[in-house]
Structure 1
Amino acid sequence: MSIYYKMVFGILVTEVSVFSVLALPLPSKIRKPLVSVLVRPFLNDVIQMAIKCMLGFVLLLFVDSVNRLYTVKQELDAVNPAGAYSSSRMEVLSRKFFAQRNMYLTGITLFLTFVVVRTFNLVRELLQLKDHYQISSPDYDTTAKEKRNVELKKELESQITERDAEIERLKEKAKALQKEI
């Protein structure tokens, strides 16, 4: 296997592992930080460009392997079928095997790239919808509601004491005005 296809195989293994992590049924408390860690590198423009170039090269390798498979198939058709186990036929068959292997390797890598991107976007959208639903839900985060209730009670008490002080001041003023009359 040449270095190109070893690199493609490495990409494939990485994509399979990322897809497996995304597909695991994890709770939102674990999944949300995990997705944020996974998305952080892909927000960089340099990394995005490198990934696009890498996928372009994988696509070129795929087209090359399809072309090579086609030429090997033509060679196999040209080999004398009477010598079923001749060395030239076995050599062409082995080249056909390698061409098919390379085609499937690059093809599944390209396909899995699009599957991982789509799955990642779906998981991110799911987490955003869960957050939105929990925020609008009436039983969302009771501790936050309790804190808000305590703040509102303190504010209400301060307003009541200010109002009572204002009422006392106005009563004293009214008594003073009544004495003048």
Structure 2
Amino acid sequence: MTLYYSLVFLLLLSEMAIFVSLVIPMPFTWRRKLFTFLSESPLIAKLQYGMKITFIFILILFVDSVNRVYRVQVEASAANKNPDTQALGGSARMEVQARKFYSQRNMYLCGFTLFLSLILNRTYVMILDVLRLEEEVKRLSGHPSATGKNAGKLDQAGNAGEIGKLRKELEAKDRDIANLKKQGEGFQREYNRLGDEKAGTGIDSAPRKDI
């Protein structure tokens, strides 16, 4: 196994360990503290960003391994039909089968790693939702350990990119509102000017009645 596929295998083992740590039963307070730490730690945020880049490379390896499996399948079919290859005996067939095995192993390794990453992300989001709902239930029932601060933290966990996007949209809307206010002030000044002109014209042009 090459170095990068060995690293992918280690990443798969790490994902399995993380998944077990997420689904293992633990008290609500411990789980809330754990996920609050995960949502607030800047190191975890940087690690998540690095993992996204890593999974892009794993996706490239997965596509390459699928391509290799297809090419080996075509080569194996051609070898079975070639009489020269059949005359060589089992060594040529064993070589083709070995290449087929290694390419399929790499494809399954990368595929399971990507699939488990999606499962981890969805499980993390679902656990956050469950913790937020439990916190809300305790707060509504008047439980002393429930605080709105923790509920807000759980709402914002794992959504740093979404928050940044919403902030940019809010800034854009603020700029639009400021531009509309400036345009409205300009329209108001123009309206007042035209009103003053019309009022002055009406007074000057009004006919006088002789007494």
Which whole-Å CA distance do the structure 2 matches of 1:42 and 1:119 have between them?
17
Match of 1:135 in 2: 139
* Cα drift, residue 122 of structure 1: 0.8
Note if 1:97 corresponds to 2:105. Answer: no
Match of 2:160 in 1: none
CA distances 1:95-136 after superposition (whole Å, capped 9, x unpaired)? 100001000000000000010011011111111111111011
| Higher Rg | 1
Match of 2:20 in 1: 20
Higher relative contact order structure (alpha carbons within 8 Å, sequence separation ≥ 6): 1
The code of the aligned residue for 2:136 comes to: H
Q: Percent identity?
A: 40
CA distances 1:127-170 after superposition (whole Å, capped 9, x unpaired)? 111111101114x129xxxxxxxxxxxxxxxxxxxxxxxxxxxx
| Aligned-residue RMSD, C-alpha | 2.2
**Mapping of residues 1-181 of structure 1, within 5 Å:** 1-39=1-39, 40=41, 41-44=43-46, 47-80=47-80, 83=86, 86-138=90-142, 140-141=143-144
Which whole-Å CA distance do the structure 1 matches of 2:21 and 2:103 have between them?
31
Which whole-Å CA distance do the structure 2 matches of 1:2 and 1:70 have between them?
20
CA distances 1:63-94 after superposition (whole Å, capped 9, x unpaired)? 00000000011111011367495111100100
Match of 1:176 in 2: none
Which whole-Å CA distance do the structure 2 matches of 1:42 and 1:61 have between them?
25
Which whole-Å CA distance do the structure 2 matches of 1:124 and 1:113 have between them?
17
Long gaps (5+) in structure 2: 146-211
* Cα drift, residue 35 of structure 1: 2.2
Structure 1 residues 5 and 110, CA gap change in structure 2 (3 angstroms) = same
* Cα drift, residue 30 of structure 1: 1.6
CA distances 1:38-80 after superposition (whole Å, capped 9, x unpaired)? 4433323xx3432221011000000000000000111110113
Which whole-Å CA distance do the structure 2 matches of 1:50 and 1:34 have between them?
21
The code of the aligned residue for 2:4 comes to: Y
* Cα drift, residue 27 of structure 1: 1.6
TM-score, with structure 2 as normaliser? 0.61
Moved over 6 A (4+): none
Long gaps (5+) in structure 1: 143-181
Bigger CA drift: 30-39 or 9-18?
30-39
Which whole-Å CA distance do the structure 2 matches of 1:86 and 1:79 have between them?
12
